Structure 1
C-alpha cells in the first residue's frame, strides 16, 4: 500500500521539481568523479607510455654482472615482452684510424618502447624503426664516421671481429640524456658479442634486461624478482630516473590527483547542501501526513524509497553524462596529442558508483532522521522543527564523509590533510567574518530606500543562510584559484626547466688551440653558443685534511664495504672548471664570490649548495682534490644555487682563476643548432675528429612534447573543475529561490520598485562573492605554499596578485550566476509568485 503511495508522491514531486536539487547534486558528484577519473587515468596511461620510450621499456633490470637466464625466462612465461642489452667499451679500427667507441649490444626485440632513428647515409633523411642490426653489421653514430673516415657499406674492426657498417645511428630511445660517449656510439646485434672478443671475465660490462607489458604482470614479476635481486642490481621505471622529466611526470600525476580531489570536494559540498535543503522542503508534507494518521515507519519507507529511486536514477544519468563528457574530452586531447589515448579501466566506474551511493546515504542520513521527527503540530505552528535545520551532527557527519572520500580517492594522508585543513580554515574564518559583517548591517547608516541598504539588510536578515552560502561560494572559488595558480606555476616551472633557447648540442674534448677556430665557425654561421669552459675531472679526496671514505669491493656479486670511521664522500669524480665571473643561472646563497687578489696565491672554490650537506661543508673549509697523481687544495669561499634545468654548462665546483695553468684541461661548450646547420657542423667535425658532439635535440623535443601534453591535459581537467564549481554555485542559489520569492512578494507589496529589488539582489551577490573571494584567495595562497613544498618538492612562494583576483573574480562570478538564477523570479508578477509559493 505504502509503495503505491510512495511512487505516486515520487512522480508528483519529480514533475514539480522538488527532487531536482538532490538529483542534480548526486548526478554532479558522479559525473565529476567519473569524468575526472577516466580522463586523468587515460592521460596518465598515455603519458606513461610516452615516457617509457626514455628507457625503451616499461621496466628495466640493470646489473654490473651477468644476470641469471632464469629471470628472463620467468618474464617470458608471464607473458611479458623482453629484450637483452649489454654495454661495454671497445676499440674500432678502420682506414688506419683507431677510436674508442661506446658499444650497446641489443637483441632483435629492442626497443620494447619507442623507436630507433637511422639514416641510410650521412646526407640521408632520418627515419624510425624497431629492431637491431643484422648479424655481422654495425650501426654507428655520425662522429665515428668522421673520426674513422667511413661511409655506409665499409668494413670496420670492432675488437677482434670484422663488421659491415649498415646504417647511420641518429638516436636511440634510451640514450643517456648527457653522456661523455657523445657521438661515438655503436649499436651491435646481441648475437655478435662473442665475435668481438671484448667481453671476457673481468671485463667492465653492464647488463640490462628490458620488460614491457601490463602493469599487473609487471608487479607480479617484480614480486617474484625482488627476493632474488643482488645489492648491485636495480629495478627501474621512468619515474625512478633522477631527471627533470621523471620529476615533472610525478608532479603532473599529483596535480591530476589534486584536481580529482577538488572535484570530489565540490560535488560533496553540492550534495550536502542539496540534501539538507530537500529535507527542509518536506517538513510540511511530513507534518501533514502525520496529522492524517501516517505512521513513522510508513513515512520512513516512503522517503527512503524516494532516496533510493533518485539515487539510482541520478547515478545512471551521471555515469552517462560523465562517459560522454570524458569521451569528448579524450578525443579532443588525442587530436592535439596526435595519439590515441588508452581506454580507462573499471576503476572510474566503480569509484563513481561508490561515491554516488555514499554521498546520497551519508549526506542525507541525518536530514532524513530529522525529517521523521517533525511533530504533527507543525501544521498549526510553522516554526516547530526549524531548530533541526542547524544540526551539528549533520555538519560533522558531512565533514567526516568528505575527508574519508578524499583520502580513499588519493590514498595520500598528507595531501588530504592539507586540503581538508585549509577548507576548515575557510569555514571558520567565514563564519566569524559573516557574523561580524552581517550583524553590523544595521549600524552602517545607509539611507532608506537605497539598493545598498536593502542588500545589506537582506544579508543581515539571513545571516545563518548567508554564512552557508558564503562557505559554498568560497570553497568553489578557493578550489578554482588553487588549480589556476598551481597550473600556471607548474607550467612556468617546466618551461624554465626546458626553455626555448636551451642548448641542444654539447661539444666536449676541445683542445686549447681549437677554441679560436670553433668560435670563428660559430660566428660565421650565426650559431648561438655558450662560452668555452676549461674542464678537468678530479676526485674530492679530503676535507680539512681528513680523508674521505673509499669503497672497497669484495668478490664479484657481493655487497660493497666501506670504512664507517671515515667521513662520507661522493661516488663520482665531478667536472671542475675555473672562472672569474659568476655564471648565468647561478646565485650566491652564502659567502662571497672570488676576490680579485687571492691571499698568498691560495686557490678558492665555490660549491653547489646541494653538496654542502652531502660533504658536510662550511665556509672556510679546505677541500683536497686528486687529479691523476697530482694533489691540490682549495678553500671554500661560497655556496651557490644552480639552475640545472637551463641545460647550460654548470658545475658543482668552480675554482678561482689562479688555478689556470696548474692542471692540463680540455674545453667544453654548448650551442643551439637548427636544421640548416647540419651540413656545416658535419664538415666541422670532419675537420676536427677528436672533438665529440653530444646531440640532445631529439631528447629535448621529446621532453617538450610530453610537457605540452601534460599542460593540455591539466587545462582540460581544470575546465571540468571550473564547471563543477559553477554548478555548486547554481545549486546553492537554487536552494534559496523559494525564500527569495517570498521576499520579492513582500517588497512589491510594500511598494518597492523593480529596479530597487534587482540592484539590491545584484549588490547582495557582489558582496557575498567579494567576501568569499577575499578569504578564499588568502587561504588558498597559504595552502599553495604548503602544497608546493610538501607535495611538489619545489620552493613555495606567495601570490599576492590573487588577493586582488580572488575578490574581483568572486564578485563577478557569483553575481553573474546568482543574478541570472533569480532574474526569472524577479520578472514574474506578484500573482504568479504567490501561486508558486502556495
Structure 2
C-alpha cells in the first residue's frame, strides 16, 4: 500500500523539478569521480604492471661519471648478476640524412629483468630476447628508419664509427622516458663505444650498473657498497624510480582530482539546496498524511524510498556517462603516450558509488529528518514547522561532508585541513563582501518605478542566497579564465618575448681542438655563434663545510637527514670565464680578481635558494674531486633570452686541471640549414639540440593538458549552473508572490521582466569581476614562481570575466523564471495555493 503511494508521489514530484536537480547533481558528482579516478587509475596500473621491469634489474647504480669496476667485481663474487650501461646522445648519419639519437651501450647480460622486443624488419613479427646486441650489431628504433630512410642491413654512422643495422628495436624494459632525441633510440654493444669516438674527456655521458639477485644478498651488498659511494652516485630500486614523466603524471592526476573536487562541491551545494527545498514542499503533504492516520514509519518509508530511487538512478546514470567519458579520455591519453592503458580496477567504481551515496545521504538526511517531525496541526496552522527550515546542524553536516570528501580525494590529512581552511576563508570573505555590496541596494536612491532599482532591491532582499551563487560562479569563472589565459595568452606572451635572432640550436659535446675550426666555419658562412663555453658537470657538495643532504634509497628504507641543508638535487653545468657574459648583470659583489684562489659567481635565484652570502666557501664535487671556491658575486640572468647561461661561473684558475667539452648556441635561418647540416657532417661527434622542436613539443603537451582542464571546466560550469538553477528553483514560490503583489499594485510586465533580467545580470557581472580579480592576481604569482618570468597583468580578462559571467548567469537565471512571468495573476495564485 505505502509503496504504491510512494511511487505516485515520486512521479508527481519529478515534474516539479527539485528531484530532477538532486538527481542531476548526484549524477554529475558520480561521473566526475568515476571519470577522473578511472583515467588516473588506468595510468597508474600501466606503470605498476611494468614496475618489475622498469629498471631492467632489481637494483641499479647511477652516476654522471665513470663507476669503479671494483663494484661489479664484488657483486659478481657475491653471486649477483650484473650488467653495465652507458648512455650518450649523438648524431646519426645515413647518406645525406642525419638526426640526433639516444644511444645505449649495453653488455651482453642486459637486461637482467624483463625482455627486449625486436623485429627483423619493419613489417616483420615482434619477438623478445633476454640479451643485448653482439659486437658490431646495432638495434635501431622504428622512428629512425623513417627519418633516415634506411632498412635493416643498411649502414649508419655513429660518431666516427660505421655500423650495420641488425634489428628493429620495438621496446626495452628501461626505455628512457625523455631524452634530447625523443623516441629515437639505438642500442649497441658496450665494446663498440670506442669505435664511435664520441666519449671524450668532459663529454655528457651517463653511467649505470645493474644488479639482480636474492633480496638478502642485495641488501648485504649495499651495506658493503654504501660507505664507498660518492655523493654524486645513487643507488635505486623500484621504490626509488622517479622520472619527469612520472612526476608530471602524478601532479596532473592530483590537479585533476582537486579540480574535479571543486565540481563535486558545487554539485553538493546544488544538492543541498534542492533537497532542502524538496523537503519544504512536502511539509503540507506530510501533515495531511498524518492527519489521515499515516504513521511516522510509513512516511519515513515513503520518503526514504524517494531518496533511494533518486540515488540509485543517478548513480547508474553517472556511471554510464562516466564510463563513456573515461574511455574517450583514456584512449586519447594512451595514443599520446604511445601505449595501451589497462582497464581500471574496482576502485573508481567503488569510490564513485560511495561518493554518490554519501552526497545523497549527508546533504539530504537532515531535511528529511525535519520532514518526519512536521506536526499534523500544520493543516490548520500553516506556519508550524517553518522553524525547521534553517538548520545549523544541516549546515555543519554539509561542511563536514565537504571536508571528508577533500580528505578522501587527497588521502592527506594535513593537506585537506589546509585546503579546507583556505577555502573557508575565501568563502567567508566573498560572502561578507557580497553582503556589504548587495546590502546597499535600498540606499541608492533610485526611482521606485525603475527596473534597476527594483532589481537592486531584490538582490538586497536575497543577499544570503545571492552570496552563495556569487561564490559558486566566481570559482567557476575563475577556472575558465585560467584556461583562457594559460592556453592562449601566457604561452604566446612567452614566445613573443624571444628576441629577434634568438638562438634556436645548441651545439654540445664540442672537443677543444674543434673550437677554432668551427669558429672559422661560422664566420665563413655567416653563422653567428654566441660564444664557445667550456663545460663540466659538477654537484653542489657543501657550503662553509656543511654538506648538503645526500640522496637516500627508499628501496632500502633509508630516511633523509632532516637536519641536513637542502641542496640542488642534481648536477649542474659549470663553466669558467675571465669576463662576465654580456647578457648577465652583476647585482652584488665583484667579478673575479687576478689571484689564483678559486672563485665562483652564482645566479641570484640559486644563491637565494641555497641561502648563500658573499664570502661563503662553496664546495663543488667535479669528477670525484672537490673544489672549494669563494663566492664573490651574484648575477641576474635572463633565461628567456635562450642565450647560453649558467647558474655558477668559476674563474679559469679554479678549473685548469679539469678536461671539458665546449658548447655554443646559434640562430640558424631557413636558408642556412644546408650549411649548418654540412657542419654537423664534418664534426660527427658534435650533437645539436633543436630548440624549435622543444618549443613545439612543449606546446603539444600544453594543448593536451588544456583538454583535460577543459573537461574539468565543463563539469564545473555544469555544476555551477545546477547551483543557480537550484537557488532559483528554491525561490520560485517567493518570486511568484512578488509578481502577484507587483501586478496588483499596477506594475507592468515589462518592468518585472527587466528587473528580473537585471538582477541576474548584476549578480553574474559581480561574480565575474571577483573571479577576474582573483584570477589575475593568482596568474601574476604563477608567472613569477612557476614560469620564472616577469609577472604581467591581463586587463582584458577584467572585461571578459564580468561579461561572460553576466551573460551566462542572466541567460540561465532568466530562462528559469520566464515561464512563471508568462502566467497570468490568476494562474499564479492557483500555483501558490
TM-score normalized with structure 2 length: 0.73
Whole-Å separation in 2 of the counterparts to 1:332 and 1:247:
20
From the superposition, tell whether residues 154 and 28 of structure 1 become closer, same or farther in structure 2 (CA, over 3 Å).
closer
Asked if the contact 2:284–2:379 (Cα under 8 Å) also holds between the matched residues in 1, the reply is yes
Alpha carbons of 1:69 and 1:250: their partners in 2 closer, same or farther (altered >3 Å)?
farther
| Candidates 690, 693, 713, aligned match of 2:687 | 693
Structure 1 residues 291 and 248, CA, compared in 2 at 3 Å: closer, same or farther?
A: same
Aligned partner (choices 234, 239, 242) of residue 240 of structure 1: 242
Aligned pairs, how many?
Answer: 759
Matched, 1:736 2:692: no
SS in structure 1 opposite 2:381? coil
For 1:130 and 1:674, locate their aligned partners in 2 and report how far apart those are by CA, in whole Å: 44
| Counterpart residue number, 1:197 | none
Structure 1 unaligned blocks of 5 or more: 75-82, 90-100, 121-127, 142-150, 180-184, 194-203, 212-220, 552-556
Task: Check if 1:307 corresponds to 2:307.
Answer: yes
Pairwise CA distance, 1:538: 8.1
Q: Indicate which of 668, 675, 696 corresponds to 2:663.
A: 668
Q: What residue number does 2:210 align with?
A: 208
Q: 1:235 to 1:458 in 2, by over 3 A?
A: same
Q: Is 1:529–1:670's contact at 8 Å kept on the other side of the alignment?
A: yes
Bigger CA drift: 471-480 or 821-830? 471-480
Q: Which residue of 1 aligns with 2:575?
A: 576
- CA distances 1:371-419 after superposition (whole Å, capped 9, x unpaired): 1222333323333322222211111110110110121012134543444
Map 1:5-154 → 2, pairs under 5 A: 5-42=5-42, 61-62=60-61, 65-66=71-72, 86-87=85-86, 103-105=105-107, 134-139=133-138
Q: Which residue of 2 aligns with 1:365?
A: 365
1:304-453 equivalences in 2 (<5 Å) = 304-330=304-330, 342-453=342-453
**1:424 Cα deviation after fit:** 1.7
* Segment of structure 1 superposing worse, 573-582 or 255-264: 573-582
Q: Which residue of 2 aligns with 1:96?
A: none
Aligned 8 A contact 1:741 1:825 in 2: yes
Alpha-carbon distance in structure 1 between the residues aligned to 2:805 and 2:543: 58
Q: CA deviation at 1:280?
A: 1.4
Q: Give the superposition deviation at 1:363.
A: 0.5
Distance 2:721 2:466 in 1: 18
> Does residue 747 of structure 1 match 2:742?
yes
Distance of aligned partners of 1:695 and 1:237 in 2 relative to their CA distance in 1, 3 Å threshold: farther
* Alpha-carbon distance change, 102 to 670 in structure 1, aligned in 2, over 3 angstroms: farther
2:645 is paired with a residue of what secondary structure? coil
**For 1:537 and 1:398, how far apart are their aligned partners in 2?**
56
Deviations 1:754-804 (A, max 9, x none): 2211210111112222333344455567778999999x8989979675666
Look up the match of 2:93.
none
Q: Could you give the per-residue CA deviations for residues 793-830 of structure 1, whole angstroms, max 9, x where no partner exists?
A: 98997967566654443323212221222223323333
Indicate conservation of the 8 Å contact 1:501/1:672, yes or no.
Answer: yes
1:449 match: secondary structure: coil
In 1, distance between residues paired with 2:636 and 2:128? 41
**Matched residues in 2 for 1:223 and 1:645: separation?**
50
Partner of 1:649: 644
Map of 1:261-272 to 2, 5 A cutoff? Answer: 261-272=261-272
Verify the 8 A CA contact 2:18 2:274 in the aligned structure 1. no
Note the aligned Cα RMSD (angstroms): 5.9
How many Å separate the matches in 1 of 2:323 and 2:537? 58
Tell me which residue corresponds to 1:217. Answer: none
Do the aligned residues in 1 keep the contact of 2:740 with 2:828 (CA within 8 Å)?
yes
Cα drift, residue 300 of structure 1:
1.8
Distance 1:819 1:308 in 2: 32
Cα 1:464–1:566 change in 2 (3 A) is closer
Cα distance, 1:285 vs structure 2:
1.5
- In structure 1, what is the equivalent of residue 509 of structure 2? 508
TM-fit CA distance, 1:633: 8.2
Confirm or deny: 8 A CA contact 1:472 1:732 kept in the other structure.
Answer: no
Work out whether residues 86 and 190 of structure 2, in 8 Å CA contact, stay in contact via their aligned partners in 1. Answer: no
Distance 1:542 1:12 in 2: 75
Alignment match, 1:254 = 254
Query: In structure 1, the residue corresponding to 2:579 is in which secondary structure?
Result: coil
Partner deviation per Cα, 1:181-208 (whole Å, 9 max, x = no partner): xxxx984458999xxxxxxxxxx98423
Give 3-state SS (helix, strand or coil) of 1:354's partner. helix
Residues 603 and 130 (structure 1), Cα distance of their counterparts in 2 relative to 1, 3 Å cut: same
What residue ranges of structure 2 are gaps of 5+ in the alignment? 89-102, 141-152, 194-205, 227-233, 551-555
> How far, CA to CA, are the matches of 2:689 and 2:474 in structure 1?
51
Q: In 2, are the aligned partners of 1:786 and 1:796 still within 8 Å (CA)?
A: no
Q: Matched residues in 1 for 2:43 and 2:825: separation?
A: 53
Structure 2 counterpart SS, 1:398: helix
Q: Secondary structure at the match of 2:237?
A: strand
Deviations 1:86-124 (A, max 9, x none): 4499xxxxxxxxxxx98433657699799899999xxxx
TM-score (norm 1): 0.72
Deviation for aligned residue 1:653: 2.0
Structure 1 residues 587 and 636: CA distance shift in structure 2, 3 A: same
1:756 to 751, 757, 760: 751
CA deviation vs aligned residue, 1:327-354 (integer Å, no higher than 9, x gap) = 4455566677787655333222211111
Change (3 A) 1:371 1:486: farther
Report the Cα distance in structure 2 between the residues aligned to 1:338 and 1:163, rounded to whole angstroms.
Answer: 30
Q: Is the 8 A contact 2:117 2:127 kept in 1?
A: yes
Give the drift of 1:306: 1.3
- Aligned residue for 2:176? 174
In structure 2, distance between residues paired with 1:569 and 1:664: 23
Partner of 1:725: 720
2:318 alignment partner, SS class: helix
Residue in structure 2 matched with residue 463 of structure 1 by the alignment: 463
**Alpha carbons of structure 1 residues 836 and 711: separation in structure 2 relative to 1, 3 Å:** same
Displacement of 1:364 after TM fit?
0.8
Which residues in structure 2 correspond to 1:461-540 (within 5 Å)?
Answer: 461-478=461-478, 480-481=480-481, 503=504, 505-511=506-512, 514-515=515-516, 517-518=518-519, 520-521=521-522, 524=525, 530-535=530-535
User: C-alpha separation between the residues in 1 aligned to 2:809 and 2:782?
Assistant: 27
1:569 & 1:365 partners in 2: Cα distance? 53
The whole-number CA distance in structure 2 between the counterparts of 1:496 and 1:35 is 37
The CA deviation at 1:314 is 1.6
Alpha-carbon distance between aligned partners in 2 of 1:547 and 1:36, rounded to the nearest angstrom: 45
Given that 1:766 and 1:814 are in contact with CA atoms closer than 8 Å, whether structure 2 keeps it comes out as: yes
What does the per-residue CA deviation read over 1:39-77, in whole Å, with 9 as the maximum and x for residues that have no partner? 45456778x699999978799744664497999999xxx
| 1:97 aligned residue | none
> Is the contact made by 2:86 and 2:104 (CA closer than 8 Å) also made in structure 1?
yes
Contact 2:505–2:665 (CA under 8 A) maintained in structure 1: yes
Task: Describe the SS at the equivalent of 1:636.
Answer: strand
Q: Please tell me whether the aligned partners of residues 481 and 780 of structure 1 are also in contact (alpha carbons under 8 angstroms).
A: yes
1:714 aligns with: 709
Q: 1:677 and 1:118 mapped to 2: Cα distance?
A: 38
Q: Which stretch of the first structure deviates more once superposed, 165-174 or 721-730?
A: 165-174
Q: Distance in 1 between matches of 2:367 and 2:524?
A: 77
Residue range with higher mean Cα deviation, 334-343 or 469-478: 334-343
Greater Cα offset, 394-403 or 376-385: 376-385
